Structure 1
Amino acid sequence: MNYLKQILAFYDSLELNPLNSSEIALWHALMSINNKSAWSTTFTVASSVLCLRSGLKQANFFKTRNTLQQKGFIVWESRGGNVAAKYQIKVLYHDVSTNSVDSSRDNEPLSTYSVGTSRDSRIDSSRDNSIGSSRALNKHKLKQNKKETSNSNNDDDERKSLFEFYQQEIGVLSPLVNQELDYSIQDFTDEGTSEQETIEIIKLAITRSVENNARSWKYTQAILSDWLKHSLFTLENIKASQNQHSSYSNQPQNYDIAGDELPY
């Protein structure tokens, strides 16, 4: 499965087949687990793990899962008793080539991947539903990536390195933070910055957050917003601005992070 094509197709589909925030969060949680399974055709995961990753409570989880299946986003199958359910994520995009690797993978009987040891009946209901975002979750789609098809694999690798860097420096990459990172990439590429340089800019913002003892996406996002506000769209301009600031003050630069609280 091509992760970026799947994300774009998902938000395209929301225009005609809308989902609420809980359903979007659960779909992203399933995508994250399927990604870790190297896109196995089917995989198993305990409901407790999905509740933790999506921020859903037990009372809402089963209804949300059924809705995703009814609307054609996933297929799930109960295996009886307290055994974790089996899932399959439906591929939402269509390649031009009828012999595409993605479509052939969908038809192959790959082994099932299992996540978590928790039983379905032991759902952790202590987790509050902390789904929220400073940007509306009803953004129906990301703008089309203007890179050539031949560069799509490189883009995947670059984004993967960013996600890994975030988890290493700040912490767990929730589905919502994953989506916010995509939006931040789009913000800079819309200004003419290449995706590769944009990813390095976001990594720099993450590093600045760590240096200021503010390991959170909220602080990192504030740094990025400040650079955009001051039309700093390249690494060279950003570093030049920071050097100029340092020449006037040895104090760390403060960023305005007032506003709605983010759950990460």
Structure 2
Amino acid sequence: MNYLKEINAFFDEKDLNSLSASASLLWYVLMQFNNKTGWKEEFTVPTSSVLVKLGLGENAFLRARKELETKGYITFKAGTKHQAPTYRMISQVKASAMDEWGDIQGDEPGVEEKVEQGVKQGALFKRKEERKKERVGGARMQPHTFYEQNIGMLTPFMAEKLTDWCDRLTNELVMEAMKIAVRHNKLFFHYCEGILKRWEKAGVQSIVDVRRNEKQPADNKEERQSEAKRLIEEYRKERYA
């Protein structure tokens, strides 16, 4: 495997075959271990070693590993009492070349292949443009980074909680909840989680839904204020108990 080509191909493929933040991080960690083995077709690595590199809990790791397998980035065989799990990285360079050119066999792509190629390239361009709109100060801010820079220290427990909410909703909504907390000077995640639970219950799926939710009648606004006060009181009881 060519490390640099694989990373570039993974970045492009991920735009079309989206991955959660924890699954993306696990792919990079497994690539590092595969690199240390000299790019063996199959390699073994203890789960404990992977967890140390990831900085996430075991449940988050298992979800991420299953996601990578389901979406065709890796295959693995579960370990035993005396044997660590065995992994095989599926080359993204080959998959990327096949999607882009359609001529691995040296054949000139036909009209249908060219149309499909154009659709995929258009989808890739659209996603990249959407990501540009999400950039903050010229660099895209990730939920974990935003938390660490604006709310508090990112512990493994907190990282796993953030990842879980990103999987349940979206990175964009988790970011928005934290921005609301910062604007109101509520620098604790319990407050953000209250917002996310309310959005999840209301079926919010995008920032557009959030804006629409904010335009609800005044009685709903009073309910939200009451809920916010309740969350603050719960946090105070937990902190000073």
Structure 2 length as normaliser, TM-score? 0.38
Larger CA Rg, structure 1 vs 2: 2
Higher relative contact order (CA 8 A, sep 6+): 1
Structure 1 length as normaliser, TM-score? 0.36
Answer 1 or 2: which has greater helix percent: 2
